[in-house]
Homo-oligomer: A and B are copies of this chain.
Amino acid sequence: MDVNSARRFLTQHDNYTILTHINPDGDTLGCGFALCRFLRGMGKKANVVNGDVLPHRYSFLYDDYYNQEFEEKCVVAVDIADPKLMGDSLEKYQKPGVVDLCIDHHISNTGYANDMLLDSSAGAAAMIIYEVLSGMGEITSEVAACLYTGIATDTGCFKFESTDSRAHIYAAKLIETGIDFYRINRKMFEIKNKNVAAAERAIVSEMKFYLNDRVAVNVISLDTIKKYGVEPAELESIPSVPLTIEGVAVGVTVKEKADRIYKISLRTAEEFNASQICSEFGGGGHIRAAGCEIKGELDDVIEKIISKISEFM
């Protein structure tokens, strides 16, 4: 499906459920609430649905949001590469044929939806939503704040390689609606809760280096999360820490999900393909950021991933 078809689709349907992915980030929530606000502005009914509790730091995206009552007639998934990412609580949407339209930028999208608007060249799914919506009517500052948040967060505030001239041009257009991008960026990239900052420091102070300091590993244990009273989602800046150290080419974050179940998140600098490495463990993602799950004792899990990385060196 192309952008024009997506516009026609959104114009022709109503009573939307907009699905966003678990471990929600600024892009999926920015897409979801932007689309929901825009559709409601057209006089349509729409709700945003997420299988997780929404992290407080994104509350500015939905502080005036309320659920509407209606009979669901159309299901749209935004920024969801795989039905599994809807989460267990939304199992009914994971079945084949249930999602009518998926708008996404992940090259790894499984093609689960009946219709799909996929642009893997877009640094953020919010860029695709912008392209669709800007051709359908005025982008209000409320919608613009959601889309800007999606673009800024998924491009690392225009720093990542995935940033292109489109990302800047759309940001320019969105800024012109008068959004408070300074406050959005402070919230997204700077201000941290005291406990979160302390937990981060505790985790990073234990960072271990491997393979001639080319690989750095941080471990987020359930004990640490409990000790500092933080939500795992609040520690989402941890995966980007290793690559800030001069010489580190692969950053590994090992997050304890449950006893002997670890979620690995990989970030890579120029030479390595994170998605390729993670796919060896049944995971996937992007070239510079990918993830997988490995079961076992912590030390064994770390050894497995380091050993796999060394094969690519």
Contact residues of A with B, CB < 8 Å?
Answer: 152, 157-161, 163-166, 168-169, 171-173, 175-176, 181-183, 185-186, 189-194, 197, 201, 204-205, 209, 213, 243-247, 269-270
Contacts of A172 in B (CB 8 A): 165-166, 168-169, 172
Interface residue from B164, B175, B197 paired with A245 (Cβ < 8 Å): B197
26 A–B contacts from the bound complex (CB under 8 Å): A157-B158, A157-B159, A158-B171, A159-B185, A159-B190, A160-B182, A161-B182, A163-B175, A163-B181, A163-B182, A165-B171, A165-B175, A168-B168, A168-B172, A172-B172, A183-B270, A186-B243, A190-B243, A191-B243, A191-B244, A191-B246, A194-B209, A194-B246, A197-B244, A201-B201, A201-B204
What are the residues of chain B within 8 A of A158 when measuring CB–CB? 152, 157-158, 171, 185
Chain B residues with Cβ below 8 Å from A152 are: 158
Q: In the bound complex, do residue B168 and residue A175 qualify as a contact, i.e. CB atoms below 8 Å apart?
A: yes
Q: A158-B158, A165-B176 are in contact. List 19 more A-B contacts (CB 8 A).
A: A159-B181, A159-B182, A159-B190, A160-B182, A161-B182, A163-B175, A163-B181, A164-B175, A165-B171, A168-B168, A168-B169, A168-B171, A168-B172, A191-B243, A191-B244, A192-B246, A194-B245, A197-B244, A205-B205
Distance (Å) between the CB of A233 and the closest chain B CB?
15
Contact call B169/A244, Cβ cutoff below 8 A? no
CA distance A204 to B205 in the complex (A): 11
Closest to A269 in B: B186
A163 to B186, CA, bound (A): 13
- For the complex, what is the distance from the CA of A166 to the CA of B190, rounded to whole Å? 23
Cα–Cα distance between A152 and B161 once the two chains are bound (Å): 15
Query: Are A157 and B157 in contact, CB atoms less than 8 angstroms apart?
Result: yes
Q: Looking at the complex, which one of B163, B194, B205 makes contact with A213 (CB distance below 8 Å)?
A: B194
Instruction: State whether B246 touches A159 (Cβ < 8 A).
Output: no
Smallest Cβ-Cβ distance to A240: which chain B residue = B190
Chain B CB within 10 A, most for which of A164, A166, A168, A269: A168
Docked pose: A269 CA to B175 CA in angstroms:
19
**Residue on B with the closest CB to A57?**
B246
Determine if A191 and B161 form an interchain contact, defined as CB atoms under 8 angstroms apart.
no
Instruction: Please name the residue on chain B nearest to A247 by beta carbon.
Output: B194
Q: How far is the CA of A213 from the CA of B194 in the complex (A)?
A: 9
**Within the assembled complex, what's the spacing in Å between the Cα atoms of A201 and B181?**
29
User: Contact: B165 with A173, CB < 8 Å?
Assistant: yes
Compute how far the CA of A182 lies from the CA of B172 in the bound complex, rounded to whole angstroms.
19
- Beta-carbon contact of B246 and A189 below 8 Å: no
Most-contacted residue by chain B among A173, A186, A197 (CB, 10 A): A197
Q: Determine the chain B residues whose CB is within 8 A of the CB of A181 once the complex forms.
A: 159, 163
The distance from the CB of A121 to the nearest CB of chain B, in whole angstroms, is 14
Residues of chain B lying within 8 A (CB to CB) of residue A157:
157-159
A182 neighbours in B (Cβ, 8 Å): 159-161, 163
